[in-house]
Amino acid sequence: MRMRPTLVWTPAEDWPAGTTDLAPVVDALDTGGVLVLSGAGISTESGIPDYRGEGGSLSRHTPMTYQEFTSSAQARRRYWARSHLGWRTFGRAHPNAGHRAVAAFGRHGLLTGVITQNVDGLHQAAGSTDAVELHGGLTRVVCLSCGTFSPRAELAARLEEANAGFDPVAAAINPDGDADLTDEQVRDFQVLPCTRCGGILKPDVVFFGENVPPARVERCRTLVAEATSLLVLGSSLTVMSGLRFVRQAAEAGKPVLIVNRDPTRGDRHALARVALPLGPALTTVAARLDIRVD
């Protein structure tokens, strides 16, 4: 599955309207067998912006593509300088009520799994230990030459040492960990190679234009097939890598429920879209199920 740079999507005039009724979500979770598919919207309450919501980063920021990263040393310098600064923000982010609610649902046996389109690791930090990171995670780095994986924290320490005094002011931090910096601010940033072979290092995330590993895709398809229903949390479903799982569930006759304040590309496949903020909505759902969200 290849991540294509589908950056915008506009709903048709007759697109289904949202609701504020949480009863379908409560009923689905009460039945059990729910698979969660989450997007950037679940992390906004942790201080990480989303892509396409109001004020989303795509209004001012185009994510790095795999082709640009691998073909241009200057693009890699720009990426790593901005990502290194953004990592400081990501490293301080904590799970919010939405992440904690999902983890609580899992602990109570209501979920068959979690698929997240996010790269921030907040589901895992909240306790969802079996979450499948569809687009990878910023906590790991991979060498494009020898395939060696290493902790992002290790590279961050090396970059801090090699770029002493690097502390520019960013205009904003984006959901992929990229900070908005000018070319002048990143001009002298030192990019570091793999310590094992000297190859190019890349965060273990799927860039736009890059393939999601086939085994990961098949794992997600299996999770959809095994689930009773699909609950989408905080995703516009603009990118096909997430939308195809919604379509798979709908084609199999499984109920699809979406909690997202704005319309999504999957609304026509959904039983309902609940247009409420995720943290309060999921906390309310948990209370109705008599589940404590720690």
The mean pLDDT value for 89-115 works out to 94
Kindly report whether the global pTM for this prediction surpasses the value 0.95.
Answer: no
* Predicted pLDDT at 176: 66
In whole angstroms, give the CA distance from residue 36 to residue 259: 11
39 annotated to a ligand binding site: yes
Average pLDDT, the chain: 90
- The catalytic residue positions are 135
44 annotated to a ligand binding site: yes
In whole angstroms, give the CA distance from residue 262 to residue 273: 9
* Predicted pLDDT at 55: 47
58 annotated to a ligand binding site: yes
* Predicted pLDDT at 25: 98
CB 25 within 8 A of CB 231: yes
* Predicted pLDDT at 51: 55
* Predicted pLDDT at 235: 95
Residue 12 burial (CB count, 10 A): 8
Checking if the pLDDT of 132 tops 90, the result is yes
The token pair at 89 is 């923000």
235 annotated to a ligand binding site: yes
Checking if the pLDDT of 91 tops 80, the result is no
The continuous run of DSSP H or E covering 258 comes out as strand 256-259
CB 177 within 8 A of CB 203: yes
Superfamily name and number for 18-48+94-135+211-294: TPP-binding domain (3.40.50.1220)
Q: How would residue 171 be classed by pLDDT, with cut points 50, 70 and 90?
A: low
The mean pLDDT value for 206-219 works out to 93
The whole-angstrom distance between residue 1's C-alpha and the CA centroid of its chain comes to: 16
CATH of 59-92+138-205, one of 2.30.30, 1.10.3210, 3.30.1600, 3.40.1760: 3.30.1600
In whole angstroms, give the CA distance from residue 226 to residue 136: 22
The mean pLDDT value for 38-46 works out to 94
Q: Domain map of the chain by residue range?
A: 18-48+94-135+211-294, 59-92+138-205
18 annotated to a ligand binding site: no
Using one digit for the tens of pLDDT, what is the confidence trace for 47-76?
A: 887 754 454 444 445 678 999 999 999 999
Burial of residue 259 (CB within 10 Å: 0-12, 13-18, 19+) is: buried
Using one digit for the tens of pLDDT, what is the confidence trace for 134-164?
A: 999 999 999 999 999 999 999 999 999 999 9
User: Which segment of 25-29, 169-173, 193-197, 280-284 scores lowest on mean pLDDT?
Assistant: 169-173
